Amino acid sequence: MNLDMALQTFLGESRELLTDLEDGLLGLSGDAAADAERINAIFRAAHTIKGSAGLFGLDAVVAFTHIVESVLDRVRAGDCTIDEALRTLLLSCRDHIAELIDACAAGAPPAALLERSAALGTQLQSRLATPAVVQAAAQQIEPRAIATTTDGHWHVSVRFGSEVLRNGMDPLAMLRYLGTLGTIEHVATLTDAVPPLAELDAERCYLGYEVTLRSNADATAIADAFEFVREDSLVRVLAPDCGSDAYLSLIRELPEADDRLGAILLAAGVLSPAELDAGLTRQRQLDTTEVPGHQPLGHILVAEQGVSPAAVNAALEQQSRARGSEHRQIRIGADKLDELIDLVGELVIASAATSLRATHSRDAELIESTQALGALVELIRDSALNLRTVPIGETFSRFRRVVHDLSRELGKDIELVLNGEDTELDKSIVERLADPLTHLVRNAIDHGIEPVEARLARGKPARGTVMLNARHDSGSIVIEVQDDGNGLDAERIAAKARERGLLRADQTPSEQDIFQLIFEPGFSTANAVTNLSGRGVGMDVVKRAIEALRGTVEMSSQAGAGTCCSIRLPLTLAIIDGFLVGVGDGTYVIPLDQMVECVELGGSQASEARRNGYINLRGRVLPLLHLHEHFAADGARERRENLVVVNHAGQQAGLVVDRLIGEFQTVIKPLGRLFAAASCFSGATILGSGAVALILDIPGLLAQSSGAGERAAA
């Protein structure tokens, strides 16, 4: 939806409201009770038009309608009655509003219309006791003063009013909002006002907070976090570098005992004991009502063990550590990082081109130095990509809440177990993984884990387990969503697939293949469509999301014992180590991590391979795919062909190619939408020579060839 659509809604809506307004005016009968309701409706119509017109910036409409509304407000309040003259005036105002709206929506209103606004406005003004000020311009919010303060430590003191909770305000929500303005470095919760349990009213708020906030926002923005409670709460904001005097006057102003607050400020690291002492002593000297024999606060704190010297030292040490680590961590924008990674990508290509030239030149020294350069580029590439990796734990722990809420909603008892939380992967992948994972976890909870009675009947523990695992596995990341529930029912899935026409009656695929059917669009076996899953967003969406990340997803299951969905993803989206092969006149890249070995295919073996579609490789049957034929490549076939053995998710196959060229580090350039249907390619790359090579998508290629095999067999 966009604003234009909303504007269309407004145009329709305002026409209806103007009709209501007209009907109301014409329907006024002189019967006080009936007229009161009509006048209310008339007022509301004008009021709503003014409010909505403001949304779309139709200022002329707002300005004029505001005057009409003001007159109607007086009528509503009984300060003015609608006589025949006013009724006529209001009716012409109504027509004028209609014209204004149409004109404003089409562009700027013509001058003649605005003149008429002014004329009608003057007539309306005579009905107002005090002339209404045209408010449209005044209602524009003032642009916030641009923060000029540098990043600094603010101190925020809040004592919430007792009615805050009853007013629907949540102190925690406001602290969280404060956290969006910067980094909350320290929070001390003040529970001094909490009464003994017997007197405690659970609906009253007794809390106060002392917050240290590192932020570059301005004072108004920070204080505004509490704007909705300001009237009944005490909010004080101290600017960074405001000096210890400001803190000391704050201590005096706040309701809690001075030494208590002093301790908190010490712990927060905003004051040093010396500052506190000096300040309070000085203040007391000025204070005529000084209590004789009062000791400096800092001494008292330490002497009375309010704060142990060690604690003070620890607080100070922590403070200096915090200052130290500020320098060790640098925050940078994600776009800067992306730019760096793009550049590293180009560097990788350029370095590959250089080393290719060097090899052609047969200059040993040049080759050696380009090799050294290449090794460095590889290191740079790895550490650049590493900058963008994040542990998956953060994403995983989000599911604690999902599991908690859903299991409660469904009356199931479920535990979430996380493994491999510190497995790192590319941030852009993590972000796009959250939705498919949520879907899988919901599915596991909703369809996987059985109700408690059913579990007990099966001899399982009453408490179900959902596991999220992550690990590295030969150049990819494997993420599993596992449950110890019902398991998948292969027969039911097959039956459903036949019913949906996804499977022919005579096909009897393996259990593994049947499970894959649930990723087909429009497939859902849930008997009852529950609130959670089965909302028409099926596993096919999960599969598509994973495939968009160049990953694969697979189901395995044991009836009655549980289901495991494993997602296999590349480590990064940007760069791969590839192996360059030639097929006809073209060059292709095979991802190196999916390659097992290369075998020369000569003489009789080659013709045998061509005849059978497989070869005997050290006693194992290896299915083959002749890329020359598969791609209908131009150019002559080599007499001696080569075989590249690839491995994907436990499945091995041989790709027959014309030439082996060699290892090649490559930056993936995405293919355009035109190639969306070509599932056997995952991208393209630019070679050192400037030629374009397509990157083979091994899972896609294998799926294509086995599909072709089945069609050929059928």
The verdict on 22 binding other proteins (CB under 8 A) reads: no
Contact 269, 319 (CB under 8 A): yes
Which one of residues 23, 346, 394, 405 is an interface residue with other proteins (CB under 8 A)?
405
From the CB of residue 234, how many other CB atoms can be counted at a distance below 10 Å?
16
Residues 6+ apart with CB under 8 A from 413: 407, 452, 462, 463, 464
Through-space distance between the first and last CA atoms of the chain, rounded to whole angstroms: 48
Contact between 106 and other proteins per CB under 8 A: no
Interface of this chain with other proteins, residues 418 to 447, rule: CB under 8 A:
none
Structure tokens at 674: 């035109």
Q: Is 273:267 a contact under the CB 8 Å cutoff?
A: no
Q: Measure Cα distances from 5 to 1, 10, 11, 236, 552 in Å.
A: 7, 9, 10, 44, 39
- Binder of other proteins out of 50, 116, 155, 550 (CB under 8 A): 50
Burial of 140 (0-12, 13-18, 19+ CB in 10 A): exposed
Nearer to other proteins, 217 or 517 (CB): 217
Long-range contacts of 320-324 (CB under 8 A, 24+ apart): 322/185, 322/269
Q: Which is nearer to other proteins, 124 or 425 (CB)?
A: 124
CB of 44 to other proteins, least distance (A): 5
DSSP 532: S
H-assigned helices in 167-218 = 171-180
Note whether 596 binds other proteins by CB under 8 A: no
Number of H-type helices and E-type strands within the chain: 23, 21
The residue among 41 and 686 lying less far from other proteins, judged by its C-beta, is: 41
- The one-letter amino acid at 328: R
The span from the CA of 260 to the CA of 190, in Å, is 10
E strands, 245-323, where?
none
Q: Closest CB to other proteins among 36 and 85?
A: 36
For the CB of residue 253, give the shortest distance to other proteins in the complex, in Å: 23
Stretch that binds other proteins, among 44-52, 126-134, 150-158, 246-254 (CB under 8 A): 44-52
Residue 371 identity (one-letter amino acid): Q
Return the number of the residue (50 or 94) whose C-beta is nearest other proteins.
50
Q: Which of 536, 533, 535, 498 has its CA nearest to residue 517?
A: 498
Site residues (CB under 8 A) for other proteins, limited to 215-234: 224-229, 231
The residue from 47, 284, 432, 500 that contacts other proteins (CB under 8 A) is 47
Q: Which of 169, 217, 384, 403 binds other proteins (CB under 8 A)?
A: 169
Q: Name the one range near other proteins by CB under 8 A: 51-59, 259-267, 493-501, 617-625.
A: 51-59
- Under the binding rule (CB under 8 A), the answer on residue 2 touching other proteins is yes
Q: Counting contacts by CB under 8 A, is residue 25 touching other proteins?
A: no
Q: Minimum distance between the CB of residue 403 and other proteins, rounded to whole angstroms?
A: 12
Type and span of the H or E element at 444: none
Quick check: 246 binds other proteins (CB under 8 A)? no
Closest contact distance (angstroms) between CB of 9 and other proteins is 4
Binding-site size for other proteins (CB under 8 A) equals 47
| In the complex, minimum distance from the CB of residue 52 to other proteins, in angstroms, rounded to a whole number | 5
Measured from the CB of residue 12, what is the shortest distance to other proteins in angstroms?
A: 8
Stretch that binds other proteins, among 46-54, 285-293, 479-487, 576-584 (CB under 8 A): 46-54
What is d(CA 553, CA 515) in angstroms, rounded to the nearest whole number?
11
> Pattern 645-684, binding to other proteins, x per CB under 8 A?
----------------------------------------
Of 122, 180, 397, 531, the residue at the interface with other proteins (CB under 8 A) is 180
Q: 590 with 644: CB under 8 angstroms?
A: yes
Handedness of CA 101, 55, 52, 137 (dihedral sign): negative
From residue 348 to residue 387, the character string flagging contacts with other proteins as x (rule: CB under 8 A) and all else as - is ----------------------------------------
Residue 210's φ and ψ, nearest 5 degrees, are -115, 120
Q: Among residues 105 and 661, whose Cβ is nearest to other proteins?
A: 105
Nearer to other proteins, 360 or 408 (CB): 408
Question: At closest approach, how far in Å is the CB of 222 from other proteins?
Answer: 12
Smallest gap from residue 63 Cβ to other proteins (A)? 12
Q: Does 44 bind other proteins (CB under 8 A)?
A: yes
CA atoms within 13 A on the CB side of 553: 25
| Of 15 and 252, CB closest to other proteins | 15
Question: Could you say whether residue 173 binds other proteins (CB under 8 A)?
Answer: yes
The residue behind tokens 């704050």 is 250
Out of 26, 27, 36, 51, the only residue in the binding site for other proteins (CB under 8 A) is 51
- Among residues 39, 100, 165, 341, the one that binds other proteins under rule CB under 8 A: 165
* Torsional class of 680: left (φ above 0), alpha (ψ -120 to 50), beta (otherwise): alpha
For residue 39, the minimal CB distance to other proteins (Å) is 13
Whichever of 138 and 330 has its CB closer to other proteins, that residue is 138
Q: How far apart are CA 654 and CA 689, in angstroms?
A: 28
Minimum CB separation from other proteins for residue 177, in Å? 5
* CB 167 to other proteins: min, Å: 5
Q: How far is the CB of 549 from other proteins (least distance, A)?
A: 21
Integer CA distances (angstroms), 281 to 242, 268, 271, 273, in order: 19, 21, 15, 12
**x-marked contacts with other proteins along 58-97 as a string, rule CB under 8 A:** ----x-----------------------------------
User: x/- contact string, 128-157, with other proteins (CB under 8 A)?
Assistant: -----------x-x----------------
Q: Rounded to 5 degrees, what are φ and ψ at 507?
A: -85, 135
Which of 87, 108, 151, 176 touches other proteins (CB under 8 A)? Answer: 176
Phi and psi at residue 218, to the nearest 5°: -95, 170
CA–CA dist 394, 641 (Å, integer): 49
CB 297 within 8 A of CB 280: yes
Q: Which two three-digit tokens encode residue 349?
A: 């290509």
Q: Which is nearer to other proteins, 168 or 333 (CB)?
A: 168
At residue 694, the 3 state secondary structure works out as strand
**C-alpha separations of 292 from 284, 288, 393, 489, 670 in Å:** 10, 11, 58, 85, 80
Letters for 461-500 (x = contact with other proteins by CB under 8 A, - = none) are ----------------------------------------
Q: Which two tokens stand for residue 662?
A: 């060699």
DSSP conformational letter for 518: G
Asked whether position 395 contacts other proteins by CB under 8 A, the answer is no
470 neighbors 419 (Cβ within 8 angstroms): yes
Euclidean distance between CA atoms 606 and 645, whole angstroms: 15
Which residues of the chain form contacts with other proteins (CB under 8 A)? 1-3, 5-7, 9-10, 12-13, 41, 43-44, 47-48, 50-57, 62, 139, 141, 165-170, 173-174, 176-177, 180, 224-229, 231, 401-402, 405
